[in-house]
Amino acid sequence: MTISDIREQKISEDDMKALEKLEKGPWPSHVTELKKTRYPIEYYAWGVMHKYSPWYSGSFRVRYVFSGILARRSRDGKVSEVHFRTYSPAGRFLSTAYLKKIAYVAEQYGIGLLEFAGNTGAIVINIQPDKADQAIDIIRNVMGSDVGGSGDTFREFYACPGPALCEFALYDTLAAMDFFRSHPEIYKFLNTQLFPYKLKMKFSGCPFDCAGANARSDFTFIGTWVGAPEVDQEKLREMIKSGKVDPKELAKRCPSGAISWDDDKQQLKIDGDRCLKAMNCIKMAFPAIKPGKNRKIAMLVGSHAQAHYGPRLSWGVALLDDYKEALPFILKVIDIYSNNAPRRHRLADLILRRGFRLISDAAKETLPDKPKAAPSSHLRFTTGVVLSDDERVTYAEWAKSLVKDYYGGEQ
């Protein structure tokens, strides 16, 4: 079957029937949810079963709104779809009063469908195209938020729950996110498309990095500390006595071997110089072992999943005492990025083209007294591959043999 043949095929009953299989199984189904709304589910069924997109990207304009609206249209031209990304409060704590307003917007102006926890940090609401203009006003004035965070601008920021709900938070991630998002110098970019490509900021309270900041934000803030973790020897002895903690295991699991257990004195020693802040010991013996008192914020730049030269992790820049200190550096980097990056290059792509010097010079100028990092980076990394026919057969056969192992002979 050629591609044009596939495209000609009409949406059929069979597709819908096959989709019913996705409603079975123990996990809650997205198809069941879609069926409760006015979503054009036939197109979804056709696309999934034919492994071919029934959609083209579209554009949709609402007066004075330049980010936060996404649209697409079907190949046959019959259906168009619009959805809004809306800003959420930092940490994505949502009161039921706020959720009721979201429900109202999704019902009255949308099709009754939403993405509750979008990956950028936004809540995504499907909207009826002819009511989009009104919907903006309702979202702004009734719901108390706004659409935004798409295109070549600042995407929605993201912060881990931090001090609101976590013992490990080493700085106030939520306040940091609010500070940057509402700072006039950052805020002025929110409704524009002025950057070569998107910019993101993410805030993690401790080296566990629950916000995934290390791997997906142009400006990364991670709470850390200097020296060894704090050990409450008395409490630790108690935990060891009750069998909750094995001190030998603690020492063994430390990746840099900084921990030693003195059996005579019944004391745990941690060498602060060798401590990698891996938090293995803290995880096992909390609250007897806690992050150290000399708290810092590690600022890193340039990680992302999607870019010209493939995914990568953040480069370290400097250790800060307060997140506010980062502002001049960030503005400087935005300036460098806007002026030098080719279109659709992320910040890290620019660093790869021009060298890390670009960032370290900016850091030297704007953060003169702060300790700097020894940055490291990946080699180039690709996610897609072009396979030859033989390779395709090899992997298909292998997958088939696994299916046979796990599901038995029936296909």
Partner 1 sequence: MAETFVPDPSERINKRLPMPYAAQFPDIIKRNYGKWVDRKFHGNGIIEHISESGESIFTVKVGLPPNSRISVDTLKKIIDVADSYGLKVVRATRGMNVEFITDSLDKAKKIVDVMKGYGFPAGGWENSLWHITSCTAYLTCSTFAVDAPSITKALYDYFMPYFTGEEKLPSKLDIFVSGCTNICAGTLAGDIVVVGHWGQAPKPDPEKIKFCLPTSAEALKKVTPDVAAVCPVNAIKLYAKEDGSVGIEVDDKRCIACGRCKNVCDYFDWDPDKIGVGVFVGGKTSNTGSGPRLAYRIVPWVPLNPPEYREVVAVVRKIVDVWKKNAEPGERIGDTIDRIGLEEFMRQVGVPKSRHNACIEVSWNFGVRQFIKYV
Pick the closer one to partner 1 by CB: 144 or 262. Answer: 144
Q: How far apart, in whole angstroms, are the C-alpha atoms of residue 295 and residue 211?
A: 19
- Output the smallest distance, CB 169 to partner 1, in A: 7
Token pair, residue 13, equals: 């009953």
- The answer for residues whose C-beta is within 8 angstroms of residue 221's C-beta and 6 or more apart is 171, 173, 176, 201, 202, 203, 204, 213, 297, 298, 299, 300, 323, 326
- Candidate ranges 263-271, 292-300, 324-332, 356-364; the one touching partner 1 (CB under 8 A): 292-300
**Residue choice 28, 243, 368, 408 for contact with partner 1 (CB under 8 A):** 28
**Residue choice 100, 324, 354, 357 for contact with partner 1 (CB under 8 A):** 100
Contact between 363 and partner 1 per CB under 8 A: no
State whether the Cα torsion 176-199-165-256 is positive or negative.
negative
Q: With CB under 8 A, what is the number of residues at the site for partner 1?
A: 170
Contact between 50 and partner 1 per CB under 8 A: yes
Pick the closer one to partner 1 by CB: 46 or 337. Answer: 46
State whether the Cα torsion 326-331-334-340 is positive or negative.
negative
Contact between 306 and partner 1 per CB under 8 A: yes
Contact between 242 and partner 1 per CB under 8 A: no
- Whole-number Cα distances in Å, 99 to 94, 116, 217: 7, 10, 27
- Output the smallest distance, CB 365 to partner 1, in A: 19
**Residue choice 8, 27, 242, 339 for contact with partner 1 (CB under 8 A):** 27
Contact between 94 and partner 1 per CB under 8 A: yes
Contact between 14 and partner 1 per CB under 8 A: no
Pick the closer one to partner 1 by CB: 210 or 358. Answer: 210
Q: How far apart, in whole angstroms, are the C-alpha atoms of residue 297 and residue 280?
A: 19
Residue 133 belongs to what H/E stretch?
helix 132-138
**Residue choice 10, 57, 59, 339 for contact with partner 1 (CB under 8 A):** 57
Pick the closer one to partner 1 by CB: 262 or 393. Answer: 393
Closest CA to 195 of 234, 136, 147, 152: 152
Q: Which amino acid is at 85?
A: R
Q: Which amino acid is at 71?
A: A
SS3 320: strand
- Output the smallest distance, CB 9 to partner 1, in A: 11
Pick the closer one to partner 1 by CB: 264 or 408. Answer: 408
Q: How far apart, in whole angstroms, are the C-alpha atoms of residue 69 and residue 61?
A: 8
Contact between 232 and partner 1 per CB under 8 A: no
Contact between 113 and partner 1 per CB under 8 A: yes
Binders of partner 1 among 333-362, rule CB under 8 A?
342-344
Pick the closer one to partner 1 by CB: 15 or 240. Answer: 15
Binders of partner 1 among 129-188, rule CB under 8 A?
133, 136-138, 140-142, 144-146, 148, 158, 160-161, 163-167, 169, 172, 174, 177-178, 181-182, 187
Binders of partner 1 among 196-225, rule CB under 8 A?
207-216, 222, 224
Pick the closer one to partner 1 by CB: 239 or 240. Answer: 239
Contacts of 178-181 with C-beta under 8 Å, sequence gap 24+, read 178/90, 179/323, 179/324, 180/323, 180/327, 180/330, 181/87, 181/90, 181/154, 181/157
